[in-house]
Chains A and B, each alone.
Chain A
Amino acid sequence: MLWACLRFPGLAFAAAFAALPEDAPGALLEDNARRRTVAIANPAAQKLGVQRGQSVAAARALCPNLAVRPRDKAAEGHLLAELAAWCYQFSGHVSLAPPQCLLLEAGASLRLFDGWSALSGKLGQGLAALGHVHTLAAAPYPAAAWVLAASFDGCVVQYPEQVLRLLDDIALTHSGLPARNVQALRSMGFRRLREVFALPRPELTRRIGREGMHWLDRLRGHANETIPAWQPPATFFQRIEFDEELEGSEPLMFPLRRMTQALANMLAARDGGVQLFRLRLEHARESSTDIQVGMAAPQREAAHLFELARTRLERSTLHAPVRAIELHAEQLPTFRPPLRDLFDPVRGEGLDWSALDERLRARMGESALRQLSAVADHRPERAWRRGDGSTSPQADPRPRPLWLLHRPRPMRPTPTRVLAGPERIESGWWDGGDLRRDYYIVGTRQGQRAWAYLPAGSHDGWMLHGWFA
């Protein structure tokens, strides 16, 4: 057996930041700490003195333009699984070693891929294309490969004696022993694994416990171990959040390419395809745009999936800037399209509302269909919006006209009588839409009831804003 360990030092950053320029200082924060402290700083930030454990305030004092994000362990897990899916093409036995390593059984693949250098070359090229920095080492035992990947990038050792020689020089801090064992051993004056290997076993076990001892055994291949094999999942979901709101579809192409690539990797690992997936683009205020991408037969090629999604996205109109993008694929059929029965009867059924809704959307496109919903805002113009109508806040108890004009317009002739009012509305200073109006319910010469306003406190300048039924 030969175990290869891939280590991705930048994985936590890649998972938390959608796109951070390499030379921009950035830091990840401990994800569940009440005090916001730095968990990991990137090299640009480290150069300015940002270190693990610093408070955000302290880090910012050193580096005012530090970009910070809370560490997102869930996203890291997703990303690692995504990489596992990609690696599946090289080995039938891939195992996750969170937070940032993958183990591959490479012995069986060596012949297939024409030896180690060819295999590692393919891995290196592929990962570079995906944009992931990595280190790689191989050893007969997984634990040893794991340790060596951190300290001796690129090394391959086949024989137990070689492994021991390399391990001897590993500092305890890089030995993979539990932190409290490392701390205890260091305080007894030990610095490298060699010194620890030399200690009498029962005495050592007493001091570092079974767990620590077991790890030392695994390193040296003294322990039998089974490495759980990773299984490709049955559904696909990925989400990317942006630091800034993105306007239009153009800037979405880069993340879209990344997502479809990930989908393709996973499909390849499953030896499956996809026939329908969904893009969900999130805007401010919890609104979103959904785009369905369907195809005639299951597909799995990255370029093809991207092309389909791109076309569909470009055809949709985005009514607001995008904050995040998600890709969902729930049904992943086998790659071969199913056979169709020619005599399969078409089931006749009446159109219910949702079917009509679906059909209209399909026929006329998403943008042709709208539903109104209420928004809690004192300003009439902003008290409603077009949306999917799934969330409807309490309707305003104040009398409001059924037909609100798209834009108020001067009222001519001026109303003949005031039925109610003035209702004064002064609101909206925070978004540049501040208004100050006195609204009246008025009667017209024709006996219609209208909703009209005057600028607050004034007596002329009637503006018509709506009609009551």
Chain B
Amino acid sequence: MKGQMAGNDDVVPSYAELHALSDFSFQRGASSARELFDRARSLRYQALAITDECSLAGIVRAWEAAKGGDCRLIVGSEIRLHDGPVLVLLVEDHAGYSALCQLITRGRRAAPKGEYRLGMTDMKGIGEGLCVLWAPGPLHRGDAAQHEAHGAWVASTFPGRAWLAVELHRGPDDDAELEALRTLGQHHGLPCVAAGDVHMHIRQRRALHDVLTAIRINTPVAEAGHALFPNGERHLRRREVLGRIYPPDLLAESTRIAARCLFRMDALNYVYPRELVPEGSTPARHLRELTQTHMGNRWPNGVPPAMAATIERELALIAELKYEAFFLTVYDIVRFARSKDILCQGRGSAANSVVCYCLGITEVDPANAGLLFERFISAERNEPPDIDVDFEHERREEVIQYIYGKYGRERAALAATVITYRSKSAARDVGRALGLSEDQLDQLSHAYSHAHGEVDIGVRLRERGFDTSSRTIRQLVALVEELRGMPRHLSQHVGGFVIADQPLYSLVPVENATMDDRTVIQWDKDDLESMRLLKVDCLALGMLTCLRKTLDLLRDHRGIHYQRLADIPIGDKATYRMIRAADTIGVFQIESRAQMSMLPRLKPKDYYDLVVQVAIVRPGPIQGGMVHPYLKRRSGEEKPDYPSDKVREVLERTLGVPIFQEQVMRLLMVAADFTAGEADHLRRSMAAWKRHGGLEHFEQRIFEGFAKNNYSQEFAARIFSQIQGFGSYGFPESHAAGFALLAYISSYIKCHHPEVFTCALLNSQPMGFYAPAQLVQDLRRQGFEVRPSDVTASTWDCSLEPVHARDGGHPKAELALRLGMRMIAGLSSDVAQRVSDARAQAPFSNLDDLCRRAALSRSERERLADAGALRMLSGHRHRARWESAGIERDLPMLGTTGEERAILRPPTVAENVFADYATHGLSLTAHPLSLVRGQLRRRRACVASQLPSMEHGRWIRHAGLVTVRQRPETASGVTFLTLEDETGQVNVVVRRDIAERQREVFLGAVLMAVDGELQAVEGVRHLIARRLHDYGDLLPGFGPVSRDFH
């Protein structure tokens, strides 16, 4: 039969696919590069070109997928010209690659984020190092004259390197189509080549592809009509099948083109920025000189010989791995920050070196802490160096601008982050494509957002009223599963900078980010790691802002001059005592509920204990069941035992229990026969496994490896579940070390200068786990005076003032905390500035004077009156509001003096407390619960301060404001609530069944009472809820104060 006679069935022709889209052609490609390559290999294609639309974002993944197989990757891109034909550009050599990157960059930079714009004129001069396929598409759809015009243009623009791509997909009459295309090619002297316009690796992705199309054009599938492909032919077809569709010469031409496109991604030569090294020196020599210059600052009395030897070893290792330029880059950025007095702190594997300590990149003294650089970086492991630098969050932008300024926008750009479909977003998009209503989509997101693994999605969907036996919902569930984990769009990385010596667009395309004046490259951090490009992470950290403000306050009020974090005394006994008592509200990292309940058990007594503390309350160690064994061994209940000396070497510092990510990786190497490369591969897969799966083949490998070395099955199982736990948040020792230092420093300040610390914390909000109300209460509990915000005394920021005016300026003076106007919700800093400026000229004589000189608008006056900040000028809130409302803006001189005096009722205590909460989120007058204590007592609720003296197992009722609702990922189904009354806080544990049964109280109550059992273990007290009550009737109209963490 005619359609099946073309070609010869006996010989299977060779073929290279030259036109294929991966899922990085967002909402167009329905298969990942890995799927495409697995399929292409099994079909024995010679080569596979990944030609994502105006993008190389997926090319590194494609390169990795192609690695080690015999189907070669051809690098390319499909470009749809806005005024011309569709072209597929394939890279022959390095020059072609650079040209392609530049072209994509030009197209992307000329359009809004996510789009591109290239026209025929942009193609002028392009061609060197590229093969150009012209893909006219089905001729019966187009306009003949236009095809002729395009053919002539293609032939003249790319002489000798242009082809006509014949792409046949079982259209109405492929034979006629082939004839017409051949004629068109001959007419313009363009050789024809077979290509597949591949959008998926197998035909079975057809449904997903239809859904992607529907998402792209924002129409339900059922109405997408001819926007859908008529069939599933755009997959990687078997060569026998291709042999029946295409004549042999067209197939052979594909392999000829493939033979020209020999460019390999590993041929890219990234060069570190050169200007970091002075003329005439080398990076190695310069780094050595810098280290030696700065050694003196760290050890003024001479470098200890052990340190000197370590430095030598490190420099040798850095030289061997050629990492000097990386250290020099980070040094340069840190040096800039210090010159501007911006606090910063490095962390990460390379940061824990004596070299970094000397250069000031980190303040952690590696020798002192027992952290050795070689443990993190070694020549045999092929990991790139990792240094994240945290900066004060309010000043990081200055650092970013410095980097752009120094290297120029051509050579510095942010890394991308690939945003992938998560269950919820996939469900919404698939649901919309299947025509569900907006309302059903909401229900769907709900069902999927609560899908925490252990609850079957079917059950969740039925709960939300979906019929899971219906065709649509069955299709939806399957499609969501397919779509989940696929890339959706590119976004910018939080702070990962890529800096190169050459313009970046010769390495990788650069595109626009959402933020003005930011550009991102098309690769994400994994791609950069694979391509061995240097990335420096410049991150923002609120705690550094807080510490900066702390240092300033200490200098101004206490005469203490700490130049930098390292000047703060280490190993302070009182500080550790405070930490062990879990008195850590506000300090870095170890302040959360879970951390606080661990502190009395772990009992940290030195810096390394803090490193463990920071890392142990994480999904990895908890899921791996490592916490209890570690605590037992610390308390001496259990002896550490080591199955072998090799294991002892890895685990000795954590008493035989693996806590850190590095230990687990190391363990796999010494005890389960992993190579360094395999361990590294596993480490990188971990971050992704939750989304993509793919740990299964490691699972078997891990169990076999441990078994071979005679470790127990149980031991292997624990290590494996720990690895799974790291997936959601792997915590390495090298980062814990940096965090532990900040935890210690913030604790030290809190311990010795609590009023200073609280003031700085309030001025750095929002940050941390606690709301200002708790921070203020914590300070008052320690006997410090806190004064309300007031236009006659407050500035924008909270400030410290002597309790007794006569002590002003004395470094030992007792200080009170004065709340700043920043605490008043809805007030702008500009108002505070005007008030402070006017006050600096002369004190305010009355309300009129204030309003006139500070030019306060009506709403600003009302805000200040409601906040009680006018009390010194006009008395109670009602009067303040009455008077401030009487001032007419246009006639400020008239004032309110001539008015008839109205009779105004002063606010009650309760009204004041309510107003305080409404404007500040806290009250210095009274705790709301003290207003209703009598009624609470009648309802038999005990106060928080009674709990510590109660015995374990006692049944009680406690009532308080719900201040925190937190559902940690590790404690499946359990929610932690924090209740607060006038005497303190109580931690409540609510199990899932209670939360579900009493959903309304659980989610809605502002004032909640809990009946339950008191649990007191090792100094940690929890109330295990059995029944919840909404006591909101006692405080009608009181708004919620809770911070909810999910």
Contacts and interface: CB of A to CB of B under 8 A. Distances in A.
Interface in B465-483: 465, 471-472, 475
Nearest to B1032: A49
A430 B434 contact: yes
Nearest to A189: B878
A436 B204 CA distance: 12
B886 interface: yes
Contacts of A376: 225-226
Contacts of A427: 210, 228, 230-231
B881 interface: yes
Contacts of B306: none
Contacts of B865: 187
B173 A431 contact: no
A188 B1000 contact: no
A421 B174 CA distance: 7
A93 to B, nearest CB: 39
B882 A207 contact: yes
A421 B176 CA distance: 9
Interface stretch (B725-733, B904-912, B934-942): B904-912
Contact of A430 (B172, B210, B232, B915): B210
A377 B439 CA distance: 27
A59 to B, nearest CB: 10
Contacts of A375: 225
A187 B878 contact: yes
B475 A426 contact: no
Interface string B995-1028: 0000110011000000000000000000000000
Contact of A61 (B3, B915, B1003): B1003
B900 interface: yes
A395 to B, nearest CB: 11
Contact of A423 (B173, B439, B862, B907): B173
Interface residues of B, number: 63
B899 interface: yes
Nearest to B203: A426
A398 B140 contact: yes
Task: State the main secondary structure of chain B at its contact with A.
Answer: helix
Interface string B972-1002: 0000000000000000000000000001100
A397 B173 CA distance: 12
A438 B1003 contact: no
A199 B866 contact: no
Interface string B866-880: 100000000001100
Given A57-B446, A203-B900, A430-B221, A423 B172 contact: yes
Contacts, number: 138
Given A199-B902, A424-B233, A426-B232, A57 B442 contact: yes
Given A57-B442, A203-B902, A424 B465 contact: no
Interface in A42-90: 48-49, 56-58, 60-62, 64-65, 68
Contacts of B915: 187
B141 A397 contact: yes
Nearest to B876: A189
Interface in A396-440: 396-399, 417-418, 420-427, 429-432, 436, 438-440
A122 interface: no
Interface in B431-466: 434, 439, 442-443, 445-446, 463-465
Contacts of B171: 398, 423
A457 B998 CA distance: 58
B172 to A, nearest CB: 4
A251 interface: no
Interface residues of A, number: 53
Nearest to A56: B442
Contacts of A184: 862, 881, 885
A420 B173 contact: yes
A426 B203 CA distance: 10
Contact of A187 (B2, B175, B210, B866): B866
A378 interface: yes
A362 B675 CA distance: 86
Nearest to B906: A189
Nearest to B859: A180
A206 B862 CA distance: 14
Nearest to A432: B471
A425 B911 CA distance: 73
B577 interface: no
A65 B443 CA distance: 9
A467 to B, nearest CB: 17
B888 interface: yes
A187 B902 contact: no
B446 A60 contact: yes
B277 interface: no
A61 B230 CA distance: 42
Contacts of B225: 375-377, 393
A398 B170 CA distance: 12
Nearest to A195: B905
B465 A65 contact: yes
Given A61-B1003, A187-B862, A203-B899, A429 B207 contact: yes
A189 B905 contact: yes
Interface string B209-236: 0100000000001110110101111000
Interface in A367-403: 375-378, 393, 396-399
B206 interface: yes
B449 to A, nearest CB: 9
A21 interface: no
B751 to A, nearest CB: 40
A200 B900 contact: yes
B1040 to A, nearest CB: 11
Given A57-B442, A424-B230, A200 B3 contact: no
Nearest to B220: A430
B196 to A, nearest CB: 14
B267 interface: no
B842 interface: no
B999 A187 contact: no
Contacts of B905: 189
B141 A418 contact: no
A436 B866 CA distance: 71
B1 interface: yes
B884 to A, nearest CB: 10
A426 B206 contact: yes
B74 to A, nearest CB: 28
Contact of B907 (A189, A378, A424, A430): A189
B904 A420 contact: no
A432 B471 CA distance: 8
A147 to B, nearest CB: 22
Contact of B230 (A207, A285, A378, A441): A378
Contacts of A438: 170
Nearest to A67: B439
Contact of B1 (A399, A418, A423, A432): A418
Contacts of A431: 222
A429 B225 CA distance: 13
Given A62-B1003, A62-B1004, A378-B228, A422 B877 contact: no
A427 B206 CA distance: 9
Contacts of B174: 422
Contacts of A58: 1003
Q: 4 smallest A-B Cβ distances: which pairs? A: A376-B225, A424-B170, A189-B878, A420-B173
Given A425-B231, A430-B210, A430-B472, 18 more contacts: A57-B442, A62-B1004, A184-B885, A187-B878, A189-B906, A189-B911, A375-B225, A393-B225, A398-B140, A399-B173, A420-B3, A421-B3, A422-B3, A426-B232, A427-B210, A430-B475, A440-B3, A441-B173
9 contacts: A56-B442, A60-B442, A61-B1003, A62-B1004, A64-B446, A65-B465, A189-B905, A206-B885, A456-B231
Interface of B: 1-3, 140-141, 169-176, 203, 206-207, 210, 221-223, 225-226, 228, 230-233, 434, 439, 442-443, 445-446, 463-465, 471-472, 475, 862, 865-866, 877-878, 881-882, 885-886, 888, 899-900, 902-907, 911, 915, 999-1000, 1003-1004
